[in-house]
Structure 1
Amino acid sequence: MNNIFENDQINPAIRQGLKKINFVKPTEVQEKVIPVLMAHKNAVVQAVTGSGKTHAFLIPVMNEIDENLKYPQAILTTPSRELAQQLYQVARQLRDAAGLNITIAHLAGGSDRERQVDKISAHKPQIVVATPGRLHDFVEKKILPLDYVKNFVIDEADMTLDLGFLSEIDFVAQRLPQNCVLTAFSATIPVKLANFLRKYMAKPETIIIDNPTVISPTIKNDLLDIGSKSRKKILYQLLTMGQPYLALIFANTKQTVDELTEFLINQGLKVAKIHGGITERERKRTMREVEAGQYQYVVATDLAARGIDIEGVSLVINYEIPRELEFVIHRIGRTGRNGMSGHAITLIREEEMNQILKLEKMGIHFDFVEIKDNSLIPRTHYHNRKLRKSTSQGLDNKVRGMVKKAQKKRKPGYKKKIKRAIQQDRAQKNKIEQRSKIRKAKRQRKNRRDSQT
């Protein structure tokens, strides 16, 4: 296949700009997406972080900009301020390398709104990088005209859904010109998101970039059963065992991040924290200090997994498993980047093993380890034992008793009898569950009708 970066349909200035920033060989997502967007087709792209998706849409978007038309021609939306800032900087880098006379605006919460209004009123940007909330605000107040928009990109679409921003995107999408090309990039495509996208895209090109390993082969991905030991003390031991260059610790809530930060500081470690509860100014200051190497340890919520790109992370610790299991992929993917080696450790207790089984079904491979002599060593994986235990879970006492007796010698046909009994038991439970769902749905419909009358 010919190198898409050398395609004659791409502005020669952009082709030269790509060489200047060392973009020589396109990634798979760039090879597949760029021709589709250049053909003005709507697209839904499933690709993970680090696959090169940003330039997959930036190149065709910039290629379409008419430098003489001083109106917004492309809107790129992403769900967090940090992601918007990153995307803005990457867009400016490509523009400057190509020497294009294109105006790019950055619209996000946490920045001076009135200053942004004055800038846009004086000089309409040709590319807008925005968070959904600020974009909705500027469109609703008619500060940002949409008449000439040719491309509308929803980056990190699943995160946009998770954070509850689809209504803001919906508001803007309804007001776009009919010939506007819509593109959504997402690590996963949940049903609710797929339904939303179908509303605006008739038969879009669906591009799925396979990622069979899920976790980069450069990452050593360990699972540590802490048993009844203190989770905090195990965390401290892990952080001080190997002296990582930069360790990123993930917790599920702002409160836990605050508690862990205080605990580790009290142990004598210099720790930074990042979560949605700290001010924008404090967060930017913290990021600058982390990038300057002033911190060796950062404790964060999942905002950092999807919204902040911290370079040089050599160790990721999942202090607890996230509620949304797919976030484990994004957390672990913060290390082992750009071909560098990385290390990830997930802390669990035995009762959380079912969550690990689900993650393994998603394609995530873990190596079981234990701490011995202040180092991590391999241990026996008790995955099979858990599966054996789960075989009899949820069965009635009568059936469970038959399973236990099956280990003894029995007459021919006894095992088949057990199998039939288990199947009948499960079928009965499924019937009861289905009836319960039907009754619940009927009650909900009745309640909606009652509320409307």
Structure 2
Amino acid sequence: MNNIFTNEKIRPELRAGLKKIHFSQPTKVQEEVIPVLLERKNVVVQAVTGSGKTHAFLVPILNEIDEKLEYPQAILTAPSRELSEQLYQVARQLRDAASLDISIAHFAGGSDRERQMKKINNRNPQVIIATPGRLHDFVEKKILFLDHVQNFVIDEADMTLDMGFLADIDFIAQRLPKTVTFAAFSATIPVKLSNFLRKYMSQPEQIVIDNPAVISPTIKNDLIDIGGKNRKRILYQLLTMGQPYLALVFANTKQTVDELTKFLQEQGLRVAKIHGGITERERKRTVREINDGQYQYVVATDLAARGLDIDGVSLVVNYEIPRDLEFVVHRVGRTGRNGLSGHAVTLIRAEEMNRIAGLEKMGIHFDFVEIKNDELVPRKHYHSRNERSSDSYTVDNKVNGYVKKAKKKRKPGYKKKIKRVIQQDKAQKNKIEQRHKIRKAKQQRKRKRDNNS
């Protein structure tokens, strides 16, 4: 196959720019996607982070911009400030390397709205990179006009769905010209997302990029069954027995991140935290301090950590398994970069083994280990792999069984197991309920802001 980066359909300036930033051999996603977008065909791409998908859509989009026409010609959305900022910086790098006179603007929630509006007044952007909420705001207030947009890209579409932004995307998409080319990039394509995309794309090209090396071979990926031990204590032991250069601990909620940060600080560790509840200024300061080497330990949520560029992570700890198993790939991929060795450790209890089976089906391999004399040593897990297909994660029926048996005499520790399973079942349901409440509250606050403005 000919190298797509040297294809004559790509402007000479862009070809030179790609060479300047050392893009000589395209990745699989770039080989397959760039020709489709150059032909102005709608496309849905399933590819994981790190596959090179960003340049797969940036190259054809910048290739099509008419520098003489000073109005928005392309819109790229990303679901968080961090991801949109990262996309903005990559787009600027390619534009500058190609010496193109293209106006690229970044609009994101949590940033100075007035300053962003002044930028529009100074020069109408030709490429807009934005979070869905801020884009919705600017279009609704007639600050931005979309009459001449030719390309619309939804990056990290599954996360856009998870964060409740599809309504904003829908609002934007309805106001685009009928001739616009749609492209969606996502690590996974849930049914709800697929149905939404079908609304705007008639028979799009479907491109699925398999990534056989789900976890880099430079990463040692360990699994610890903590049994009845205190999870926080095990975490502290892991973080201190090997003195990692930089350890990144992942938890599922802001509350857990706060609790872990406080606990580890009380043990005398200097710990930074990153989650959606901290201000943008605090977030930027924290990341700067981490990269300056002021912290050895960072506790974060998945959504807050996506898009943040933190160098030198030598250890990743999955304090708990994420609800979306795909996030394990993103978490573990934070270590072992640039050919360096890395280490990831996942903490589980026996009733979570079926989730590990799900991860193994995705191609993620774990080594069972245990802590002995402040060292991680291999162990043979007492649960056979065949037993992992049990429905232990679907807890309701199991809870009923435990409750019925609770009145019988059991061995010591059995009642604790019953309690723990019931508590976990309640906690899972509470998390789901809380998530719905948060989304509803966000929508109500947004409607209130819109009514007041």
Q: TM-score range by the shorter chain?
A: 0.7 to 0.9
Q: 1:215 Cα shift?
A: 2.0
CA contact 1:305–1:327 (8 Å) conserved in 2: no
Over 3 Å counting, the alpha-carbon distance change for 1:69 and 1:391 in structure 2 is closer
Match of 1:329 in 2: 329
Over 3 Å counting, the alpha-carbon distance change for 1:150 and 1:387 in structure 2 is same
- What is the CA–CA distance in structure 1 between the aligned matches of 2:249 and 2:389, rounded to whole Å? 32
- What is the CA–CA distance in structure 1 between the aligned matches of 2:174 and 2:338, rounded to whole Å? 39
CA offsets, 1:183-219, max 9 Å, x none?
0000000000000001101111111100134222222
CA contact 1:271–1:299 (8 Å) conserved in 2: yes
Larger radius of gyration: 1
RMSD: 2.0
Over 3 Å counting, the alpha-carbon distance change for 1:391 and 1:32 in structure 2 is closer
Over 3 Å counting, the alpha-carbon distance change for 1:383 and 1:204 in structure 2 is farther
Q: 1:30 Cα shift?
A: 0.7
- After superposition, residues 319-358 of structure 1 pair within 5 angstroms as 319-358=319-358
- What is the CA–CA distance in structure 1 between the aligned matches of 2:269 and 2:24, rounded to whole Å? 42
CA contact 2:357–2:388 (8 Å) conserved in 1: no
CA offsets, 1:155-185, max 9 Å, x none?
0000000000000001101111111111000
Match of 2:174 in 1: 174
Q: 1:82 Cα shift?
A: 0.4
Match of 2:442 in 1: none
Aligned partner of 1:6: which letter?
T
Match of 2:25 in 1: 25
Q: 1:362 Cα shift?
A: 2.7
CA contact 1:147–1:176 (8 Å) conserved in 2: yes
**Secondary structure at the residue paired with 1:129?**
strand
Q: 1:339 Cα shift?
A: 2.9
Aligned partner of 1:271: which letter?
V
**Secondary structure at the residue paired with 1:303?**
helix
- What is the CA–CA distance in structure 2 between the aligned matches of 1:76 and 1:307, rounded to whole Å? 15
CA offsets, 1:316-340, max 9 Å, x none?
1001111222222221122222333
CA offsets, 1:330-375, max 9 Å, x none?
2112222233322110001112222222222232221111111211
Q: 1:388 Cα shift?
A: 8.3
- What is the CA–CA distance in structure 2 between the aligned matches of 1:35 and 1:82, rounded to whole Å? 29
Over 3 Å counting, the alpha-carbon distance change for 1:318 and 1:335 in structure 2 is same
Match of 1:204 in 2: 204
**Secondary structure at the residue paired with 1:248?**
strand
Stretch deviating more after TM superposition (2-11 or 237-246):
237-246
- What is the CA–CA distance in structure 2 between the aligned matches of 1:25 and 1:391, rounded to whole Å? 45
Aligned partner of 2:16: which letter?
Q
Match of 2:377 in 1: 377
Q: 1:385 Cα shift?
A: 6.4
Q: Are 1:36 and 2:36 an aligned pair?
A: yes
- After superposition, residues 303-318 of structure 1 pair within 5 angstroms as 303-318=303-318
Over 3 Å counting, the alpha-carbon distance change for 1:222 and 1:135 in structure 2 is same
CA contact 2:86–2:307 (8 Å) conserved in 1: no
Q: 1:300 Cα shift?
A: 0.3
Match of 1:157 in 2: 157
Over 3 Å counting, the alpha-carbon distance change for 1:388 and 1:69 in structure 2 is closer
Q: 1:306 Cα shift?
A: 2.6
Match of 2:368 in 1: 368
- What is the CA–CA distance in structure 1 between the aligned matches of 2:40 and 2:386, rounded to whole Å? 51
Structure 1 unaligned residues grouped into runs of 5+: 398-453
Match of 2:255 in 1: 255
- After superposition, residues 66-77 of structure 1 pair within 5 angstroms as 66-77=66-77
Aligned partner of 1:264: which letter?
L
Q: 1:305 Cα shift?
A: 4.3
- What is the CA–CA distance in structure 2 between the aligned matches of 1:205 and 1:312, rounded to whole Å? 38
- What is the CA–CA distance in structure 1 between the aligned matches of 2:337 and 2:153, rounded to whole Å? 25
Aligned partner of 1:331: which letter?
R
Stretch deviating more after TM superposition (162-171 or 353-362):
353-362
- What is the CA–CA distance in structure 2 between the aligned matches of 1:44 and 1:312, rounded to whole Å? 33
- What is the CA–CA distance in structure 2 between the aligned matches of 1:300 and 1:87, rounded to whole Å? 21
CA contact 2:275–2:301 (8 Å) conserved in 1: yes
- What is the CA–CA distance in structure 1 between the aligned matches of 2:316 and 2:85, rounded to whole Å? 24
TM-score between both structures, scaled by the size of structure 2: 0.84
CA offsets, 1:54-89, max 9 Å, x none?
111111110001010000111010000000111111
Over 3 Å counting, the alpha-carbon distance change for 1:265 and 1:6 in structure 2 is same
Over 3 Å counting, the alpha-carbon distance change for 1:105 and 1:352 in structure 2 is same
CA contact 1:247–1:316 (8 Å) conserved in 2: yes
Match of 2:114 in 1: 114
- What is the CA–CA distance in structure 2 between the aligned matches of 1:322 and 1:391, rounded to whole Å? 18
- What is the CA–CA distance in structure 2 between the aligned matches of 1:312 and 1:184, rounded to whole Å? 31
Aligned partner of 1:353: which letter?
M
User: What is the count of residue pairs matched by the alignment?
Assistant: 397
Aligned partner of 1:340: which letter?
L
Stretch deviating more after TM superposition (124-133 or 325-334):
325-334
- What is the CA–CA distance in structure 1 between the aligned matches of 2:301 and 2:284, rounded to whole Å? 16
Match of 1:2 in 2: 2
- What is the CA–CA distance in structure 2 between the aligned matches of 1:364 and 1:117, rounded to whole Å? 46
Q: 1:310 Cα shift?
A: 1.9
**Secondary structure at the residue paired with 1:236?**
helix
**Secondary structure at the residue paired with 1:307?**
coil
Q: 1:389 Cα shift?
A: 9.6
Q: 1:386 Cα shift?
A: 6.2
Stretch deviating more after TM superposition (299-308 or 309-318):
299-308
Structure 2 unaligned residues grouped into runs of 5+: 402-453
CA offsets, 1:376-414, max 9 Å, x none?
11111334266189499989x9xxxxxxxxxxxxxxxxx
- What is the CA–CA distance in structure 2 between the aligned matches of 1:224 and 1:109, rounded to whole Å? 39
Match of 1:281 in 2: 281
Match of 2:448 in 1: none
Q: 1:256 Cα shift?
A: 1.1
Over 3 Å counting, the alpha-carbon distance change for 1:175 and 1:375 in structure 2 is same
Match of 2:184 in 1: 184
CA contact 2:146–2:175 (8 Å) conserved in 1: yes
Stretch deviating more after TM superposition (386-395 or 148-157):
386-395
TM-score between both structures, scaled by the size of structure 1: 0.84
